[in-house]
Amino acid sequence: MTEKIYRCRLHSPEIIYVNNILEGHEGLGIIHTTDEKTGSVVFYTTSDTEHELAALLQSLQAEGVDIELLDVLEQSTLL
C-alpha cells in the first residue's frame, strides 16, 4: 500500500476547522500540524483515498479556506 503525504500551508485559525471537517470524513486521512505559527500542516492518506482528499481540499478552497498545496509525497508502507 502507498501512503500519500500532502504538505500544505493554511492560516492557523483554520487548522482546527479543517481538522474537524476531515474527522467528519472518517478514514479519509489524518492532519498533523508541523508548525502552528506558519500554518504548516501535513495530510496523510492512502493511494486508495487520495482523490477524495484532493477533492475535499479543493472544496474547502472553493469555500474560501486558504489552503496552499506545497507538495505531494509518496511513501510505501509495510504491512
Domains along the sequence of the chain with CATH: 2-76 (3.30.70)
Strands 40-46 and 2-10: antiparallel
Alpha carbon distance 21, 55 (integer Å): 13
pLDDT in tens, 32-77: 999 999 999 999 999 999 999 999 999 999 999 999 999 999 988 6
The C-alpha cell that represents 10 in the structure block: 493554511
pTM value is 0.90
Give SS3 for 77: coil
Cα atoms in the Cβ-side hemisphere of radius 13 Å centred on 9: 6
Cα atoms in the Cβ-side hemisphere of radius 13 Å centred on 47: 8
Alpha carbon distance 19, 36 (integer Å): 13
